[in-house]
Amino acid sequence: MVFLAYGLLAVATQALFVTYAPVTQDAARHFGVSVGQIGWLSQVFPLVYVLLAIPAGLALDRFLRPALVLGAVLTAVGAFLRLVADDFTWAFIGQVVAAVGQPFILNAIPGLAVGYLAERHRATGVAAASSATFAGMVVGYLLGACLPGEGNIRTLTFVTALVALDAGLCLVAALRLRPYAGHGSVPVTGTVTGGAGANRAFRVAFGNRHVRRLCALAVIPMGTFIALATFVQPLLAPAGVSEPTAGLILALTMIAGVVGCAVVPVWADRRGREVEVMGAAIAVTAMACLHLALVPSPLTAFVTLLGTGFMLLPALPIGLSLSERHAPGAESTAAGLIWMAGNLGGVVLATVVGLLVTRPALAFAALLGATLLALPALHWFRRLERPVDPVV
């Protein structure tokens, strides 16, 4: 029940994140601003996440349920603030408020798994909850594809606001069920959340070498994906990809990611192949950027981005599951650090791509180079997970 309600809220917050991404040019004409400015309606989410990831994680580790309710309220309020006036200013204000709620929602995934699931089911729970976040992007892209044209921007905004309100109410009702172990202000002897303060939770998470290296690993691939999700529509326009087609491609990419998140992390967890899967995801993403730089077309975008969605998006729940194992009692703070690192990469790479949005080949080449930088970070993490035996 709790995970189902959480999934609905995760869907809502990510639908708000990408509301204007599949209709970038229509939204620019509707609000009378540039394409780059519309990009900021999405980019504000990773930017705010970088600022609030750690405070939100600490709050969730200490008070899981109240912090989640706060995230739900901020999400719904932000969604409706965009309707105060039909202009860019109120759209931006609403996106900022909803973005403030996002860290309290996404950082909660490991904490919910620990609080409401038996240990043997936690990897599956993390995978399912992560799938819901990407399903939210599917909803956002499909809505954009179904409501094209600058005349439908207001309708699109209203529909996503209703989704946020309904999801928030469902979560508040579901959280009446108390977690069985140490969350929601229920002390449990021996846990960081129940018996120690926020400073210790941060030390447990950040002081763990595995978590720090997972953060380093998350920066580039997640940043590449955020940049693609924000600007792929205008980047593909010169190759003859219309806004509805781009929205459909992005929606199918997210569907592939949802399927991947439901299957790949569970398979990797059972076989101990997490590092290999993340390496394959980096390789597939790099090849996608290379093909989009050299031979952009609707078919190329369809094939390469679906492969990227299926392989790259499962890397997130894999990283969250690994962090939960290595930072017991500070799961949400560790998740916040990983999300923060990835969103920081998204801010940087989306800004770079935004500056190159009129030169698609160069933008995709920049993403290719950035993605390949994740390989040394993966090797660094592999050495920690599987240390080489000393020569005697």
DSSP structure string for 211-233: HHHHHHHHHHHHHHHHHHHHHHH
Angle between helices 2-17 and 64-81 (to 10 degrees): 40
Identify the structural domains of the chain with CATH numbers, from first to last: 2-183+199-385 (1.20.1250.20)
Own/partner contacts of 96-100, CB < 8 Å, gap of 24 or more, are 96/44, 96/48, 98/13, 98/16, 98/17, 98/45, 98/74, 98/164, 99/17, 99/44, 99/45, 99/47, 99/48, 99/49, 100/48, 100/52, 100/74
pLDDT tens digit string along 352-387? 988 898 899 999 999 999 889 888 888 887 776 665
Query: Most distant CA pair in the chain: distance in Å?
Result: 73
Q: 275, 271, 283, 332: which is closest to 108 by C-alpha?
A: 332
DSSP structure class, residue 244: H
pLDDT tens digit string along 261-277? 888 888 888 888 888 88
Angle between helices 108-116 and 122-146 (to 10 degrees): 130
User: Is the whole-model pTM more than 0.75?
Assistant: no
* Mean pLDDT, residues 242-271: 84
pLDDT tens digit string along 138-175? 888 788 878 878 888 999 999 999 999 999 999 888 88
Q: What is each CA distance from 362 to 235, 291, 355, in whole angstroms?
A: 10, 12, 10
> Is 90 exceeded by the pLDDT of residue 230?
no
